[in-house]
Amino acid sequence: MTKKEILNIILSERVLAIIRMKSAQAVGTSVAALVKGGMRVLEITSNTPDFLKHIEQARKMHQHTLTGAGTILTGKLARAAIDSGAQFLVTPNTNTDIITIAANAGIPVIMGAYTPTEILRASQAGADIIKLFPAGIAGIPYMKAVTAPLDNLRIFAVGGINTENAQSWLEAGAIGVGIGSQLMAKGADGKLDLTQTVNNARQLMAMVKSL
């Protein structure tokens, strides 16, 4: 799949499902539940145990789903993720070296930025999508103020986004959102509720497709 094809899927789906787990055992079932619920773009973060292995497994098990690597802080992590099959990279911060590594590998980058300076720096360096992070702290008025003079940028809102406020962010001008723990339902015993997680994903994707 080409970089353009990957990017087009991310832009058309508009939702990035973030998988950040403390237990490696929970990753595979979480991925399966999100995919069953209609998620087509998954980010497995580098601070999830055995994240490289889980990227490889997700690519094999869910071939019609994009699997990327998140919380990519260094060039070393970026190269390891690419070697494991990551189809895109996501950072929490503005690190233009990672843009170069991803470009050489032919995959997109969703680059974290917060201030207008960081956002413009990431864009000018070639970031394919800007990840406004942490968006929940910044707020929708901040996003609108920043994007007024920078209205040609693709902004994904990430951090503090949930199933209740995602629609507001999309209607306010974000082209996409990233959601993690809010999608992962837990039962009374504290364990992952797979059925409700599937329902959460379905409801979110239905809302997005209705816009």
Which residues are catalytically annotated? 43, 131
Query: Is it true that the peptide bond before 134 is cis, omega within 30 degrees of 0?
Result: yes
Backbone angles phi, psi at 197, to 5 degrees: -65, -45
Residue 125 identity: A
Measured CA to CA in angstroms, residue 191 lies from 29, 66, 186 at distances of 12, 26, 5
Cα gap 186→156, rounded to integer Å: 26
Cα gap 176→199, rounded to integer Å: 20
Provide CB contacts within 8 A for 136, sequence distance 6+.
159, 160, 161
Q: Which pair of tokens denotes residue 52?
A: 């490289």
- Can you spell out the DSSP letters for 57-88? HHHHH-TTSEEEEE---SHHHHHHHHHTT-SS
